[in-house]
Structure 1
Amino acid sequence: MKKTIKTLVALGLCGVMNMAHAENFTIGTGSQSGTYYPYGGLLAKLWSENLPDFNMRVEVTAASVENTIKVVQDKQLVGFAMGDVVIQAQNGEKPFPRKLDVAVLTALYPNVVQFVVPADSDIHTLADLKGKKVSLGAPGSGTRVSARSILAALGVDESSMTVQSLNFSATTEALANGQIDAGVFVGSSGLGAITELALTRDIRILNFTDQDMATISKSLPAYQSVTIQPGVYNGVGEFTAPAVWNVLVVNQRMDDKLAYDMTKVIFENSKALNNALSVAKFTTVENMNQLSQVPLHPGSKKYFQEQLQHNE
């Protein structure tokens, strides 16, 4: 009996020691009402289950800008970010004070810039936002960066409106209560925050004309035009809007083998990702390098090239 107890204790200590040796990492996501958070949870689970001595937890953040900075500062191993934000970080453009050593693990799915207003609003174009109360997204978020970039590209002066700096949850609440006239959501089509709002309020999403999109694409090459079909949101008709790819941003100094292994786990478990999250259908090997302006990390690039050769 004593021998059995000693054996159990020894095994228990071994388990504790093994856990102690496991490395703990963080993935930066965004608001819990956005797409980054559930997607980050799925990836963290897959990596933790499939990589030896690897534990990852999800961190709620202000999203793209914060995640990019924390990755470079080694406060996060990997983070979700919008492509235009990562390009700005690489180039040392505002809101970043200098060039940052960023790389992309893989592109994930396109984010759509969605300006939401009440259905009976007199706002039909971005120019109509002048004099209105508008939420442009939380400070440190890709939504805010994207909203300001789109406004600037179309010549709409931000100072001409009363700007609110709200996250997705606060923006939907403010729209529902009539506290703001418009709110910007940058995320996948079918974004949860807008979906929930459309179930309780009649809303509309601003449509961008072909001329609008041509102007935006000229000024902001990372953006492309997408058309969202009617019915994606309750009561909302078809609309065209700018879109930019989301990516997993990492530090250039990240270990090559770890980057390779993490990338491999993503694509070897693509079926599980697709079953859990509809936007994961865009996360394919073929789409890995959609943000061509920022290089893939050497580890993920190796996996990418292997898969291309395999499929030839």
Structure 2
Amino acid sequence: MTLTRRAFLAVVAGAGVSSLVACAAPTSTPLVLGCGEPGGSYLEFGELMAAATRSSTAVSVSPLATEGSIDNLRLLRERRVDLGLSLVDSAAGADGEVVAIGRVYQNYLQCIVRADSGIGQLSDLAGRTVSLGAPGSGAAATARRVLIAASLDPEGTTGPRSVERTFRQAVDDLAEARIDAFFWSGGVPTPQIAALAERVAVSVIDTTGALPALDARFPDVYAATTIPSGVYGAQRAVPTIGVANLLLARSDLADDLARALVDALIDDAPALVPPDALGIQYLTPASLIDTAPIALHPAAERRYRERYG
């Protein structure tokens, strides 16, 4: 059979396409990351992580909006996400079920009240209506522990009237005086709270009075920290409780993916910090590996040693 010029060119073109396909860079493995509520630090971090891994040939991250830490741990357990962000105090209860890829930043427990509410300290929350956080959020779990440590059991007669609201609902409810206070765990400043402070004057309550009792029951989990002056219009820095935030996975996450995630945390650290963040970030060699009481993924631990020596 005679091969015509047109047929010959078609064969050559096809061969060229086949060669391009064969030589194309391998596609990255997509991993779903359970984050948190819209407007919060978790989802913002997930979006930054997705942007940082977009061009990676090893791994790419897809953020998923969730209710927060407790919800993410459940989704990991049910294998509905591949990765999850969680406060370390929430993750401690799942020890053995999850492993850490790194300690990524510090969350600030923020108890927000209207400046005209007459609430100046934790004890003033007794009898008031207080949102602990969204159902399934680590913030709600932490807030409940803090109130109990301050002898303000939200389920008892001496504490506040507790409700559970999403972050957006809590912001709106405080603005309209439907609640007296809300707890939120996130970076500082949180943009939605900063916007709220432009509508009504707000204050942040010092929560560190509960620290001694918290430390006695949950050692090495909580730390004293400070919300800088100027945040939300405050004239002075406000002491509060800090809780580390971890990037978690199941123990069966493939070693090459754990290594690629470590590389992303190290190499893209500057791009993973929100531009307006004033608080403590943990994307440093010493802090990334400090995930106690949750063990590092073995491959992640080896990769940190390779990178940092």
TM-score with structure 1 setting the length: 0.85
1:58 and 2:63 are equivalent in the alignment: yes
Amino acid at match of 2:299: G
State the distance in 1 between where 2:140 and 2:12 align.
59
* Secondary structure in structure 2 of the residue aligned to 1:194: helix
Question: Closer, same or farther in 2 for the Cα pair 1:153/1:49, shift >3 Å?
Answer: same
State the distance in 2 between where 1:9 and 1:191 align.
55
* Secondary structure in structure 1 of the residue aligned to 2:99: strand
1:131 and 2:137 are equivalent in the alignment: no
- In the alignment, which of 19, 24, 39 is matched to residue 30 of structure 2? 24
**Residues 203 and 232 in structure 2, CA contact (< 8 A), matched pair in contact too:** no
State the distance in 1 between where 2:207 and 2:274 align.
32
Q: Considering only CA atoms, is the larger Rg found in Structure 1 or Structure 2? A: 2
1:47 and 2:53 are equivalent in the alignment: yes
TM-score with structure 2 setting the length: 0.86
State the distance in 1 between where 2:132 and 2:192 align.
15
Amino acid at match of 1:81: S
Question: Closer, same or farther in 2 for the Cα pair 1:49/1:117, shift >3 Å?
Answer: same
Runs of 5+ in structure 1 lacking a partner?
Answer: 91-99
1:225 aligned partner = 224
**Residues 25 and 57 in structure 2, CA contact (< 8 A), matched pair in contact too:** no
1:84 and 2:89 are equivalent in the alignment: yes
Q: CA deviation digits over 1:267-305, x for unaligned, max 9?
A: 112233347463684311210133321111112111222
1:239 aligned partner = 238
Structure that is richer in helix per residue: 1
1:142 aligned partner = 138
> In the TM superposition, what is the alpha-carbon distance from 1:238 to its structure 2 partner?
1.9
Percent of aligned pairs with the same amino acid: 24
Q: CA deviation digits over 1:46-104, x for unaligned, max 9?
A: 2232133x4432110001011112123221111111010110121xxxxxxxxx51111
The farther-off stretch of 158-167 and 266-275 is 266-275
**Residues 72 and 85 in structure 2, CA contact (< 8 A), matched pair in contact too:** yes
1:214 and 2:212 are equivalent in the alignment: yes
2:3 aligned partner = none
Within 5 Å, which residues of 2 pair with 1:272-311? 272-274=271-273, 276=275, 278=277, 281-309=281-309
2:152 aligned partner = 156
Amino acid at match of 1:143: A
1:97 aligned partner = none
State the distance in 1 between where 2:10 and 2:196 align.
59
* Secondary structure in structure 1 of the residue aligned to 2:54: helix
**Residues 35 and 192 in structure 1, CA contact (< 8 A), matched pair in contact too:** no
* Secondary structure in structure 2 of the residue aligned to 1:49: coil
State the distance in 2 between where 1:268 and 1:206 align.
37
**Residues 25 and 76 in structure 1, CA contact (< 8 A), matched pair in contact too:** yes
**Aligned length, in residue pairs:** 296
* Secondary structure in structure 2 of the residue aligned to 1:48: coil
State the distance in 1 between where 2:12 and 2:234 align.
66
* Secondary structure in structure 1 of the residue aligned to 2:295: coil
**Residues 174 and 181 in structure 2, CA contact (< 8 A), matched pair in contact too:** yes
What's the Cα RMSD here?
2.7
State the distance in 2 between where 1:158 and 1:35 align.
26
State the distance in 2 between where 1:4 and 1:177 align.
70
1:67 and 2:72 are equivalent in the alignment: yes
* Secondary structure in structure 1 of the residue aligned to 2:118: coil
Amino acid at match of 2:88: G
**Residues 48 and 55 in structure 1, CA contact (< 8 A), matched pair in contact too:** yes
**Residues 28 and 57 in structure 2, CA contact (< 8 A), matched pair in contact too:** no
State the distance in 2 between where 1:57 and 1:292 align.
26
> In the TM superposition, what is the alpha-carbon distance from 1:132 to its structure 2 partner?
1.1
**Residues 114 and 205 in structure 1, CA contact (< 8 A), matched pair in contact too:** yes
